[in-house]
Amino acid sequence: MNADARPVFDFPLRTQLFIDGCWCAPETRQRLPVINPSTEETIAEVDAAGPADVDRAVRAASHAWRAWKQTSGAARAAFLRAIARGVEASAEQLAALQSLNNGKPIAESRIDVGDVVATFDYYAGLAERLDEPGEAIAIPSDRHRAVIRREPAGVVGLIVPWNFPMVTTAWKLAPALAAGCTVVLKPSEFTPLPELALAAIVEQAGLPPGVFNIVTGAGTDVGAALTTHPLIAKVSFTGSTAVGEQVMKAAAQSIKGVSLELGGKSSIVVFADADLDLAVDLVIGGAFFNAGQMCSATSRVLVERPLAQALIARLADRVARTVVGDPFAAAVQMGPLTNRAQHERVQRFIARGKADGASLVVQGQAPDGPGYFVQPTMFVDVPAGSAVWREEIFGPVLCVRSFDTEDEAIATANDTEFGLVASVVTRDAARGQRVAAALQAGVVWINAPQLIFPQTSWGGFKKSSIGRELGPFGLAAFQEIKQVLTAADSD
């Protein structure tokens, strides 16, 4: 597909629920509009599930789990690889659908699709290793043998956000299926189209009916029904900290397992010896990728004072020249925000920053007319108590403060209720490692962009996370541990 072409899809856009192996209408017979954030036009309507539909999906998953948990790891791996190949075969159209519904530039959407493929392939490899016998544990007795087994948790509810459709789903769905769980997925009501397209690929992979189900609809209806359903063994949620608190409270009523990937307010620490060109690239990428709609956005810039003037000048120039517009245009670097509510929220934060006394260095240009576009914005000398410094904005707003010592930089970076990620930019390798060790964050990049590999880990400290995704930790999140102790003379 040409980068400036409007998307034309040669596969049907799914808009129904997928329950027990069938595309079906909800009992509510209600529909939700899906908006193109670049034009504010309605591009589709999807079914809006209610509690009865969630119950139907969960019961289908519960019935399917009886057989699915008995399948071999090799069999599950084959399904996961089939999904990966299906995504590859439709990669360009899935990327276009991502940009149409979410608003991110097409180049970023292509990265997302590649991430989905890599995640399913990675967990296929881990699934195959599940056929190995349980892990023998040395115990202080020659009369007994102890083995640790890892078994599927059961039926899991997956609730995913609108900023990375398909990606966040893959990070949850692939390990859940690999572990032997059955799934009910609730996508965001703002970006259901990419998730439904992925669901169609999952269907084509031939999973048994009920192993995978998707219910679209409002979070107040679908999400609440999932988190309180008695047959759901675990809920994995990615979204805001406020909603995560509600998920945790609801799950506590029936003592469900929970994994939460929540907010962030992360720093990038730039020392005076840093490569200036590299520092500028890392700051811009960390703050404005996906229009800043990332829990990992390193939108708090801490720069050592001798480099501050030069870095601020270079950043201001880059912010002012950022091309904002149609995500399918080749020159565009930043698309719109994904929905109206987020657009209004970011505008309020920018106004708050001005009111708090932060120095507004630049507000870039955004297209006139419709669309949820926001000018990329940069503040300096931001008061430490300002909302733009302390609260997650989830938009293209960059805040800069200076520091004098390494200890001051670490203390300022850690002065937040979040602890998801951080970045360090320095030519001093020892200092890079030392600062990374002192930062209270689940992921730290040193002189590197925000690369995330499925083989590693994702999650943070403090209010940013409970549990981890990706790597073997992501698989373990959907497993229970069983100890089997056997008398030596039982054979």
The one-letter amino acid at 111: I
Structure tokens at 438: 């002192």
Pairwise CA distance, residues 159 & 185, whole Å: 6
Q: Do strands 397-403 and 377-380 pair parallel, antiparallel, or not at all (unpaired)? A: parallel
Q: Show Cβ contacts of residue 103 under 8 Å, excluding neighbours closer than 6 positions.
A: 36, 37, 38, 291, 327, 335, 336, 337, 338, 372
Cβ atoms 214, 199 nearer than 8 A:
yes
Closest CA to 82 of 201, 197, 170, 173: 201
For 193, the token pair is 């189209």
Q: Give the active site residue among 108, 195, 203, 261.
A: 261
Catalytic residue among 189, 203, 295, 399: 295
Q: Kindly report the number of other CB atoms within 10 A of residue 10's CB atom.
A: 6
Nearest to 158 by CA among 286, 243, 283, 260: 260
Q: Cα(first)–Cα(last) distance of the chain, in Å?
A: 63
Q: In 330-388, where do the E strands start and end?
A: 359-363, 377-380
Angle at 250 between CA 247 and CA 33, to 5 degrees: 55
399 is catalytic: no
181 belongs to the catalytic site: no
Residues 196 and 38 sit within 8 Å (Cβ to Cβ): no
- Of 304, 293, 240, 283, the C-alpha closest to 422 is 283
Q: How far apart (Å, rounded) are the C-alpha atoms in residues 343 and 117?
A: 31
Radius of gyration, alpha carbons of the chain = 23
C-alpha pair distances (Å), 61 with each of 191, 236, 341, 478: 24, 16, 33, 15
Catalytic residue set? 261, 295
